[in-house]
């Protein structure tokens, strides 16, 4: 039984080191980013504990860019409860709910946007605080992953792959 405990302890240590490495790489990429746009991604199934993938830091997007890449817009929400967000869009892609929060700049998305996204990852699915929606059937959409794409924060319903697919296919400009 002692050997099993040691194995689990090593797994936890490995996961912590991996999360730290992912965060360090993302931080390094942001700090050393050139003027060129990048499609590099640090992929993770984040749950609020690990650093979110950051993509295409030098690009500015609109919801129309995401619609052209396959995002189906259902509604737009008020931004009063989400600091610095200029727009909040709810919709879906690949049969998964996605919320896209637009910010004036990548810097705003990385500060207020990430802080808000992390708070949602920690929130109980039954709460009524900002982020997520309650459907007409009184079901709550909760988000388990997020990523930063230029000036946007994408909140992803079950895993990050659907958001990553959109982020890979979206074209900036307008």
Mean pLDDT (the chain) is: 73
Query: Pick the residue with more confidence: 173 or 32?
Result: 173
Judge whether residue 147 has pLDDT over 70.
yes
Instruction: Read off the pLDDT of residues 79-122 as tens digits, 9 standing for 90 and up.
Output: 998 999 999 999 989 888 999 999 999 999 999 999 999 887 75
- In the predicted model, what is the mean pLDDT of residues 24-31? 48
> What is the model's pLDDT at position 5?
63
State the pairing for strand pair 145-149/140-141. Answer: unpaired
> What is the model's pLDDT at position 1?
55
> What is the model's pLDDT at position 67?
94
- In the predicted model, what is the mean pLDDT of residues 67-78? 93
Structure tokens at 170: 């979206």
Residues of the chain with pLDDT > 70, as a percent, come to: 57
Cβ-contact 170, 69 below 8 angstroms: yes
Task: Indicate the pLDDT class of residue 40, thresholds 50, 70 and 90.
Answer: very low
Judge whether residue 128 has pLDDT over 50.
no
Residues of the chain with pLDDT > 90, as a percent, come to: 33
- In the predicted model, what is the mean pLDDT of residues 122-129? 48
């Amino acid at each position: 039984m002692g050997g099993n405990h040691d194995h689990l302890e090593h797994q936890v240590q490995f996961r912590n080191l991996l999360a730290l490495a992912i965060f360090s790489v993302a931080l390094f990429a942001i700090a050393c980013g050139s003027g060129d746009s990048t499609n590099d991604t640090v992929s993770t199934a984040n749950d609020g504990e690990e650093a979110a993938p950051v993509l295409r830091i030098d690009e500015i997007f609109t919801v129309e860019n995401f619609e052209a890449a396959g995002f189906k817009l259902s509604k737009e929400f008020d931004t009063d409860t989400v600091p610095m967000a200029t727009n909040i869009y709810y919709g879906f892609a690949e049969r998964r709910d996605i919320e896209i929060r637009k910010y004036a700049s990548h810097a705003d998305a990385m500060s207020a946007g990430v802080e808000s996204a992390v708070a949602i990852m920690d929130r109980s699915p039954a709460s009524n605080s900002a982020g997520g929606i309650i459907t007409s059937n009184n079901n709550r959409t909760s988000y388990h992953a997020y990523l930063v794409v230029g000036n946007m924060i994408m909140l992803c319903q079950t895993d990050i792959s659907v958001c990553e697919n959109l982020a890979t296919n979206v074209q900036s400009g307008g």
